[in-house]
Structure 1
Amino acid sequence: MPIYNKLVRDRIPEIIVATNKKYSMKVLEPAEHEVEIKRKLIEELKEYQEATSNEEAIEELADLLELIYAVLPLHGTTIEELEEVRVKKLEKRGGFDNGYYLIEVEDD
């Protein structure tokens, strides 16, 4: 029996049951959940970096976004509040659309 020891999507247990396979799992406490979401974010980011097609890249970006949504309640916030912070930062400092790559800035 393969051992995974990783955070999985909420419907994975039901999908496994549908295949008539046995499994073991536990429900994580909030602190453990946050640790595992951070670990999963790294895993999914790596998969995004290794994507070789637009389709694969979009799949991995969707996974990253889902993990971000999942961690928000652990920080006492919502998607809407996150979006407000994103927009404020966008207005104050801009986005990343232009591809500017800073090399150096003269010291005072």
Structure 2
Amino acid sequence: MGKLIRTKLKEKLKQRNPTAKFSTLSKNDLSIELDKKLVEEVNEFVSATNYENKNEELADILEVIGTYFELDFFDEKATRTIQDRKFKERGGFDKGIYYF
């Protein structure tokens, strides 16, 4: 079973394993794999036990989200507009309000 990797990791993997196989995904398959990668990175973020590790995983999450925008899977301006609207209507999470 394969997984989506960062572009510069390919060369390192080739050096370690000259018979390693790679392919370039179609846009549809890339969308599916980005979804899987986002879940993977979120799980790693949740599992991280210190600030440094959480920050590393948060950077990976942002990389995946940035890729969605860069490849036009989602429109960043439209997404930010929705984010702003939801904040105005519902507020944010910054006050730490917890509901029982």
Q: Normalising to structure 1: TM-score of the pair?
A: 0.77
Q: Is the 8 A contact 2:68 2:74 kept in 1?
A: no
CA separation in 2, counterparts of 1:74 and 1:34?
10
Q: Secondary structure at the match of 2:96?
A: coil
CA separation in 1, counterparts of 2:92 and 2:74?
25
Q: Are residues 1:77 and 2:75 paired?
A: yes
Q: Is the 8 A contact 1:7 1:36 kept in 2?
A: yes
Q: Deviations over 1:3-53 (max 9, x none)?
A: x60001122113334x36422111111111111111111111111111011
Q: Secondary structure at the match of 2:88?
A: helix
Structure 2 unaligned residues grouped into runs of 5+: none
CA separation in 2, counterparts of 1:5 and 1:20?
16
Displacement of 1:74 in angstroms is 4.4
Specify the alignment match of 1:106 in structure 2: none
Q: Are residues 1:89 and 2:86 paired?
A: yes
Question: Which amino acid letter does the alignment assign opposite residue 95 of structure 1?
Answer: G
Percent of residue pairs bearing the same amino acid type: 31
CA separation in 1, counterparts of 2:36 and 2:74?
20
Specify the alignment match of 2:28 in structure 1: 31
Question: Which amino acid letter does the alignment assign opposite residue 10 of structure 2?
Answer: P
Number of aligned residue pairs: 98
Higher Cα radius of gyration: 1
